[in-house]
Amino acid sequence: MILRILRWAGLTFLAALTLLVASSCTMLGLNYASLETANKASPMPPLDFARLQTPDGRAEAMQMLEDTLYGPWPVGLPVSTGVWRMINPDYLDGKGTLEELDITIGQGPGARLFHLVAAFPKAAAHNPVVISQTFSSNCATFPGEAVTSQDGDPCTAGDNGPMVTFLVTHMFGEYISEAPVDRFFDAGLVYASFHAGDFIPDSEALAPKALAGLGAEVNPTSALMAWAYAYSAVIDAFEHDPRVDIHQTSVMGHSRHGKAALLATIWDPRIEAVVAHQSGFAGSALSRSQTGETLARMAKSYPHWLAPDAGKYAANPYLLPFDQHLLLALIAPRRLFLGNGRRDVWSDPNSSFRAAKAASAMWEVDGTPGLEQDSMRTFDSADGIVWWLRPGGHSIVDEDIEAFIAFLKARPTPSAASPPAELPTVAAPG
Encode burial over 252-270: b for 16+ CB neighbours within 10 A, e otherwise: bbbbbbbbbbbbbbbbbbb
Residue nearest to ligand GCU (CB): 255
Instruction: Tell me whether residue 293 or residue 400 sits nearer to ligand GCU (CB atom).
Output: 293
**The residue type at 55:** P
Q: How far is Cα 252 from Cα 261, in angstroms, rounded to an integer?
A: 6
> Which of 73, 281, 322, 363 is the binder for ligand GCU (CB under 6 A)?
281
| Three-state SS at 394 | coil
Instruction: Tell me whether residue 178 or residue 293 sits nearer to ligand GCU (CB atom).
Output: 293
> Which of 74, 173, 280, 339 is the binder for ligand GCU (CB under 6 A)?
280
Phi/psi class of residue 417: alpha, beta or left (left: φ > 0; alpha: ψ in -120 to 50)?
alpha
Give the interface size with ligand GCU as a residue count (CB under 6 A): 7
Q: How far is Cα 218 from Cα 171, in angstroms, rounded to an integer?
A: 39
Instruction: Tell me whether residue 222 or residue 360 sits nearer to ligand GCU (CB atom).
Output: 222
Closest distance of CB 287 from ligand GCU, Å: 12
> What are the DSSP calls for 282-348, one per residue?
TTTS-TT--STT-HHHHHHH-GGGS-TTTHHHHH-GGGSS--HHHHHHTTTTSEEEEEEETT-GGG-
Residue numbers 230-269 binding ligand GCU by CB under 6 A: 255-256
Residue numbers 344-383 binding ligand GCU by CB under 6 A: 346
Closest distance of CB 255 from ligand GCU, Å: 3
Closest distance of CB 293 from ligand GCU, Å: 5
Instruction: Tell me whether residue 322 or residue 346 sits nearer to ligand GCU (CB atom).
Output: 346
Task: Based on the shown chain and the rule CB under 6 A, indicate whether residue 175 belongs to the binding site for ligand GCU.
Answer: no
Under 8 Å between Cβ of 58 and 200 = no
Closest distance of CB 279 from ligand GCU, Å: 7
Under 8 Å between Cβ of 149 and 139 = yes
Closest distance of CB 277 from ligand GCU, Å: 10
- Residue in 330, 380, 379 with CA at minimum distance from that of residue 355: 330
Closest distance of CB 392 from ligand GCU, Å: 14
Site pattern 283..312 for ligand GCU (x: CB under 6 A): ----------x----x--------------
Which residues, listed in sequence order, are joined to residue 96 by a DSSP beta bridge?
91, 121
| Three-state SS at 430 | coil
Binding site for ligand GCU (CB under 6 A): 255-256, 280-281, 293, 298, 346
